């Protein structure tokens, strides 16, 4: 099917060039909105109407005639139909669809993957300051960021996962003071408990371990507590290492690993912030006003100029961000994606303006952003807002403990990042088709069960006669399999990992429909082997797609009130 589509694409381009040699068009196939309209659609007749000075339907008739003369269309297409004002609907020959089974089985793990392109991509995500447990917003970023990494790896990119955080500043000082209060025996609600302090039970745990002189080790740091209540800096360093360790445990439970950790404070100690500001001043991109230093960000599309250095001499939030992204560029990352909350929307234009201002040749639109909204959590019909451990919010670990890693990852990637999402704990626990992750995983488990039964009967997909796969449900399933490589490329280009979740649900639905319509282990051995080959190909694509989402593909599952009949 992949080869057939490639041949058809070249033939379509040749036919358009024959019809309109001067038209600078790259015609593409589209998927019809309704399956009854065909397997592929061609809409280029509408684009050609004006340069050819004809109506779209007449152009479509000419194009159909040109296409029918192309050997690829003669080989792979069973019908071409003109619909509406000039749409061309294309029905593929069974052989074109059957070919995808062999293509998947020839390279099961590599199906849909592109060769290495020699380019470096950094995805920065989660990036939580170590002031408390990871919350559901971090969970959504973790699912999004890690899925984007897997997605771009399928497209040949050399991907680095980076976690950026601050180990100094106001929030960290509040963490240290909160821990000190616990060390002194204070607790939330006491008269002397600071209003700004962190109230979660985890602060008491940090205090107890500090007094016990414990050593904590995170992926990027290690620290041994002095146990001295007067050692405020030691308390700070211990608390940071403690919470970084806790974050690492949460991320391990979520199957997310980072290649590098980057400290915001290093941008100051290394002089990068000062160097960046001086470069912008030297480039004439700044001016002084009301005792502050301003960036001329309106020169690069921002709605107003922005303060860089405040009257007290401190820098505003976006300045270290500019310095940080210069560092990313200088480290060779030609493409950068940041997964952040929608509250970061206001910094995008000013960060990009700063990057344009330093004159390093950084392309416009660098970096890319994927912004996500927060997540509401529902349980037993009511919203859950409080976690005892965190003191004020539902944590990533809560979601995993209440459901499963697979459910959390699949649910949080199943909607576009900037859309509101409600995580339904009760739905995530259901062992039936209402639960989308169960529905998809169960398709994989069902296939494994049938293949095992076939093997027990001495049946194998190897050497199967794929021309026997002509049932409507088989043709629909094979067409869906063929969409996988293009779906991956499109999802990466659009920074849309949710498209993978949509696809895998559609693929599972196509399989379940096939399962309901046909028997697999039939008496006709040749037909049984062909169907097992199709099932094997479907299993591989399901597993590959789930891997992009970071979700497992179990080989056995039990569905509530389920009776199986292969």
Strands 306-309 and 292-295: antiparallel
CB 198 within 8 A of CB 173: no
Nearest to 492 by CA among 261, 150, 24, 208: 150
Instruction: Please list the alpha-helical segments (H only) found in 79-211.
Output: 94-106, 136-154, 170-183, 201-211
- The b/e string for 249-286 (b: 16+ C-beta within 10 A; e otherwise) is ebbeebebebeeebbbebbeeeebbeebbebbbeeebb
Cβ–Cβ under 8 Å, residues 82 and 128: no
Longest dimension (CA), the chain: 87
Residue 310's SS3 state is coil
Dist. CA 483–CA 510, nearest whole Å: 13
Q: Which residues contact 114 (CB under 8 A, 6 or more apart)?
A: 154, 155, 156, 489
What's the sign of the alpha-carbon dihedral 513, 516, 521, 523? negative
Phi then psi dihedrals of residue 432, to 5 deg: -150, -175
From the list 413, 424, 428, the residue with the least C-alpha distance to 500 is: 413
The 3-state DSSP class for residue 262 equals strand
The tens-digit pLDDT sequence of the chain (566 residues) is 678 888 898 999 998 888 788 777 788 888 887 777 788 999 899 888 888 888 889 989 989 999 998 999 988 898 888 988 888 998 999 999 999 999 999 999 999 999 999 999 999 999 999 999 999 999 999 999 999 999 999 999 999 999 999 998 899 999 999 999 999 999 999 999 999 999 989 999 999 999 999 999 999 999 999 999 999 999 999 999 999 999 999 999 999 999 999 999 999 999 999 999 999 999 999 999 999 999 999 998 888 999 999 999 999 989 999 999 999 999 999 999 999 999 888 899 999 999 999 999 999 999 999 999 989 999 999 999 866 566 678 999 999 999 999 999 999 999 999 999 999 999 999 999 999 999 999 999 999 999 999 999 999 999 999 999 999 999 999 999 999 999 999 999 999 999 999 999 999 999 999 999 999 999 999 999 999 999 999 999 999 999 999 999 999 998 875 544 45
Task: List the structure tokens of 11.
Answer: 């033939």
Q: Model-level pTM?
A: 0.91
CA distances from 183 to 186, 217, 228, 236 (A): 7, 21, 10, 13
């Amino acid at each position: 099917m992949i080869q057939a589509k490639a041949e058809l694409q070249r033939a379509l381009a040749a036919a358009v060039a024959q019809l309109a040699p001067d038209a600078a068009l790259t015609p593409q196939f589209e998927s019809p909105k309704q399956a009854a309209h065909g397997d592929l659609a061609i809409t280029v007749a509408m684009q050609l109407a004006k340069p050819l000075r004809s109506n779209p339907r007449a152009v479509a008739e000419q194009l159909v005639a040109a296409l029918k003369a192309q050997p690829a269309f003669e080989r792979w297409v069973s019908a071409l139909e003109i619909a509406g004002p000039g749409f061309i609907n294309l029905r593929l020959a069974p052989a074109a669809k059957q070919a995808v089974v062999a293509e998947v089985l020839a390279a099961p793990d590599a199906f849909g993957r592109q060769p290495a392109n020699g380019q470096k991509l950094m995805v920065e995500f989660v990036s939580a300051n170590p002031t408390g447990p990871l919350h559901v917003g971090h969970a959504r970023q973790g699912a999004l960021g890690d899925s984007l990494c897997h997605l771009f790896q399928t497209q040949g990119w050399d991907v680095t996962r980076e976690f950026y955080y601050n180990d100094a500043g106001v929030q960290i000082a509040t963490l240290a003071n909160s821990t000190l209060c616990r060390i002194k025996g204070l607790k939330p609600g006491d008269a002397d408990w600071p209003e700004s302090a962190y109230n979660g039970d985890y602060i008491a745990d940090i205090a107890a371990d500090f007094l016990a002189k414990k050593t904590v080790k995170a992926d990027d740091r290690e620290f041994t507590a002095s146990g001295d209540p007067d050692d405020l800096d030691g308390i700070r360093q211990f608390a940071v290492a403690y919470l970084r360790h806790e974050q690492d445990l949460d991320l391990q439970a979520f199957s997310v690993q980072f290649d590098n950790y980057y400290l915001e404070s290093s941008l100051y100690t290394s002089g990068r912030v000062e160097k960046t500001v001086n470069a912008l001043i030297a480039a004439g991109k700044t001016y002084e006003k009301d005792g502050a230093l301003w960036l001329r960000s309106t020169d690069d599309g921002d709605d107003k100029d922005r303060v860089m250095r405040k009257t007290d001499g401190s820098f505003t939030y976006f300045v270290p961000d500019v310095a940080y992204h210069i560092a990313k560029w200088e480290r060779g990352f030609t493409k950068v994606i940041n997964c952040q909350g929608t509250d970061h929307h206001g910094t995008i234009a000013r960060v990009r303006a700063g990057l344009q201002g330093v004159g390093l040749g950084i392309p416009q639109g660098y970096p890319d952003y994927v912004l996500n909204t927060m997540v509401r959590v529902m349980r037993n019909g009511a919203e859950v807002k409080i976690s005892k451990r965190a003191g004020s919010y539902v944590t990533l670990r809560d979601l995993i403990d209440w459901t499963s890693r697979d459910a959390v990852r699949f649910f949080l990637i199943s909607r576009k990042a900037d859309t509101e999402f409600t995580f339904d704990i009760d739905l995530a626990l259901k062992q039936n088709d209402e639960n989308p992750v169960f529905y998809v995983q169960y398709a994989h488990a069902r296939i494994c069960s049938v293949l095992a039964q076939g093997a027990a009967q001495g049946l194998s997909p190897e050497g199967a006669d794929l021309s026997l796969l002509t049932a409507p449900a088989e043709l629909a399933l094979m067409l869906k399999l063929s969409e996988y490589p293009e779906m991956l490329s499109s999802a990466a280009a659009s920074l849309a990992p949710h498209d993978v979740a949509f696809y895998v649900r559609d693929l599972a639905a196509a399989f379940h429909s096939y399962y309901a319509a046909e028997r697999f282990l039939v008496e006709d051995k040749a037909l049984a082997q062909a169907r097992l080959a199709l099932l094997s190909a479907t299993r591989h694509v399901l597993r590959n797609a789930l891997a992009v989402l970071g979700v497992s593909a179990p080989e056995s599952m039990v569905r509530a009130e389920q009776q199986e009949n292969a």
